[in-house]
């Protein structure tokens, strides 16, 4: 693996760290299986791209993309909380709807950004090659997102959100408006995913309707890899582990694609992702089975 492709993996890993933080919030904190992200990722890309093409400041465009993502999350939450549609189904409905919405926003299947200004082109000083500087800016953004989440979950409001996911009945009896908690959580989660989409479009030089396919699986893979690499119950560590997971995951993929002897090609990406997630899901179970065998009848619960 060359230095160039390593920085490339780092860059994409950082972008998907944002997705992973969003997925952590919906799947782990709220326990809401949210597939909206497959739609809010390209939504963020579409909104940012179309605004940039129309001359809006890239930072403002990115911010508006986040708002659009938040709105998508709220719609999913609202379908579930207020209309009583099953969580998974509600998110699939919004995901499907977003496919049309994204096409409408872009006015076609893709919007090229090659010649347009981006958050990278207007901030980076150009002291180092672009493929080094871009990951550095992304790193700053990801760390900022992590710190905001860490802060939020240390507040009373954030604690109420954790209780909502963990034991909604108890949360309500402690005066938590669980419906509102879910809406807010879904908004934050999808805003982060849309931010990732906006960043992705600006690094790749275009927004594309199909770029969202499998976002949820990659996000989940990052969360799971992170949890097995750095298991913890402290939220500050969990967010860190999820970011690590996203970057590690991307390195694995790059490694697999760059190892000519395996014979894998770019189109095998989703297959590799699925296999990696299965391995990450099964490994902890195998580990505990071996442990049990090593110490028979030591600790049975």
Partner 1 sequence: MLRAKDLHITFNQGTPIETRALRGLSLEIPSGQFVTVIGSNGAGKSTFLNAVSGDLSVDSGVIEIDGIDVTRKPVWERAKHVARVFQDPLAGTCEDLTIEENMSLAWSRGQKRGFPRALNGSLRELFRERVAVLGLGLERRLSDRIGLLSGGQRQAVSLLMAALQPSRILLLDEHTAALDPKTAAFVLDLTTKIVAETGLTTMMVTHSMRQALDVGDRTVMLHQGKVVLDVSGAERKGLDVPDLLQMFERVRGEKLSDDALLLG
* Residues found near partner 1 in the complex (CB under 8 A): 152, 154-160, 162-163, 166-167, 169-178, 233
- For residue 179, the minimal CB distance to partner 1 (Å) is 9
Residue number, 159 or 279, with CB nearest to partner 1: 159
Residue number, 89 or 177, with CB nearest to partner 1: 177
Burial class (CB in 10 A: 0-12, 13-18, 19+), 290: exposed
Give the closest residue to 31 by CA, choosing from 215, 187, 185, 210.
185
Residue number, 13 or 158, with CB nearest to partner 1: 158
Residues β-bridged to residue 208 = 110
- For residue 133, the minimal CB distance to partner 1 (Å) is 34
Residue number, 156 or 293, with CB nearest to partner 1: 156
Residues β-bridged to residue 207 = 111
Maximum alpha-carbon separation in the chain? 68
Residue number, 233 or 293, with CB nearest to partner 1: 233
Q: How far apart are CA 87 and CA 101, in angstroms?
A: 21
Q: Yes or no: say if 197 and 105 are a contact pair by the CB < 8 Å rule.
A: no
- For residue 233, the minimal CB distance to partner 1 (Å) is 7
Give all strands (DSSP E) within 173-293, no chain letters: 206-208
- For residue 156, the minimal CB distance to partner 1 (Å) is 4
What Cα–Cα distance (Å) separates residue 63 from each residue in 38, 48, 172, 203? Answer: 19, 8, 33, 16
Residue number, 136 or 180, with CB nearest to partner 1: 180
- For residue 170, the minimal CB distance to partner 1 (Å) is 6
- For residue 159, the minimal CB distance to partner 1 (Å) is 4
- For residue 227, the minimal CB distance to partner 1 (Å) is 14
Give the closest residue to 38 by CA, choosing from 12, 82, 76.
76
């Amino acid at each position: 693996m060359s230095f160039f492709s390593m920085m490339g993996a780092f860059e994409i890993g950082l972008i998907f760290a944002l997705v992973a933080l969003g997925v952590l919030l919906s799947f782990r904190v709220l326990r809401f299986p949210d597939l909206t992200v497959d739609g809010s990722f390209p939504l963020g890309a579409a909104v940012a791209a179309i605004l940039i093409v129309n001359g809006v400041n890239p930072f403002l465009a990115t911010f508006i993309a986040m708002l659009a993502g938040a709105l998508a999350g709220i719609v999913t939450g609202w379908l579930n909380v207020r209309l009583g549609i099953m969580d998974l189904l509600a998110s699939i409905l919004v995901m499907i709807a977003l496919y049309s919405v994204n096409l409408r926003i872009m006015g076609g299947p893709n919007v090229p950004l090659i010649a347009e200004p981006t958050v990278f082109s207007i901030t980076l000083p150009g002291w180092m090659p672009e493929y080094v500087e871009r990951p550095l800016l992304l790193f700053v953004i990801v760390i900022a997102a992590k710190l905001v989440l860490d802060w939020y979950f240390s507040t009373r409001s954030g604690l109420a959100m954790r209780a909502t996911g963990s034991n909604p009945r108890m949360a309500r009896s402690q005066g938590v408006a669980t419906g509102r908690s879910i809406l807010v959580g879904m908004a934050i989660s999808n805003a982060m995913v849309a931010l990732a989409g906006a960043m992705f479009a600006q690094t790749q030089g275009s927004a594309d309707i199909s770029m969202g396919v499998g976002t949820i699986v990659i996000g989940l893979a990052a969360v799971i890899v992170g949890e097995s690499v750095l298991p913890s119950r402290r939220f500050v560590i969990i967010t860190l582990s999820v970011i690590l997971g996203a970057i590690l995951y991307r390195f694995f993929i790059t490694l697999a694609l760059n190892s000519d002897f395996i014979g894998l090609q770019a189109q095998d990406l989703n297959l590799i992702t699925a296999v990696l997630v299965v391995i990450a899901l099964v490994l902890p179970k195998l580990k505990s089975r071996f442990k049990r065998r090593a110490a028979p009848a030591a600790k049975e619960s």
